[in-house]
Amino acid sequence: MEENKILERHTPGRVSLGIKLKRVVWNVMAALLFRPFITPVFRKWRLLLLRMFGAEVEWDANVYASVKVWAPWMLRMGHRACLGPEVICYNQDLVVLEDDAIVSQYSYLCTAGHDIDHANTADGGLVTSPIVLRRGAWIGSRAFIGMGVEIGENAVVGATASVYKNVEPWTVVGGNPCKIIKMRKIVNTNTGGVILKVLSHESHANVAVLHNEWRTVA
């Protein structure tokens, strides 16, 4: 129930004055104390600044200095999660990266847009919806993730893909708009075997997963 609530669409209409003032302070701090500190030794310093502005990030997460975070207070990152170089995190709404989720360089996470049926989209009609990357999800370079999208556990979004609908767990997608390319398989480094996520498909409204079954192939 709580997970479904996270992905709800919101209609704030416009950015409030309070948020605008918070962003002014954050942008000044980011310019002076975040982006200039580019080396890995300052990784925890950057995380500290994000935490000071309300981000919920684990200490072993990584946010590169060139990342543009619109609102740190709308960012959650789990263990070993990563926002790569030059990523734009346009998080007017919540952005969640669970453990081991990775967003590669130059990707765009976009949680906001405008209601195209609104009479004046420049002055109002703002709509937002969160983006959630489940455990182990991987976003390739220069991908675009649209508002309200959930990337499933261990799913892979190919480079330059545009994603406007949820991506099912263990699928590899690519293209604009993205389509399923194949199912993902991960080599088990302990046994040398391959762990496969076997998925039953139904050709209806791009629904990919009906039931899950684990198999280990030697």
Q: Which of 10, 114, 204, 211 is the catalytic position?
A: 114
Domain ranges, residue 20:
2-183
10 is catalytic: no
Q: Are 104 and 125 in contact (CB under 8 A)?
A: no
Instruction: In whole angstroms, give the CA distance from residue 150 to residue 78.
Output: 16
163 domain residue, yes or no: yes
Indicate which CATH number applies to the domain containing 139: 2.160.10.10
By DSSP bridging, strand 126-128 and strand 112-114 are antiparallel
217 domain residue, yes or no: no
Instruction: In whole angstroms, give the CA distance from residue 159 to residue 142.
Output: 6
Q: Are 9 and 129 in contact (CB under 8 A)?
A: yes
Token pair recorded at residue 151: 């990337």
Q: What is the pTM of this model?
A: 0.82
3-state secondary structure at position 27: helix
AA identity, residue 90: Y
Short-list 145, 61, 55, 144, CA closest to 98: 61
Per-residue pLDDT reduced to its tens digit, 101-140: 999 999 999 999 888 777 666 667 889 999 999 999 999 9
145 domain residue, yes or no: yes
Q: How confident is the model at residue 165 (pLDDT cuts 50, 70, 90)?
A: very high
211 domain residue, yes or no: no
Residue 194 has pLDDT above 60, yes or no: no
205 domain residue, yes or no: no
108 domain residue, yes or no: yes
Q: Number of structural domains, the chain? A: 1
Task: Please tell me the predicted confidence (pLDDT) of residue 98.
Answer: 98
61 domain residue, yes or no: yes
119 domain residue, yes or no: yes
Q: Are 130 and 7 in contact (CB under 8 A)?
A: yes
Return the DSSP state at 152: P
Mean of per-residue pLDDT scores for the chain? 85
Per-residue pLDDT reduced to its tens digit, 79-93: 999 999 999 999 999
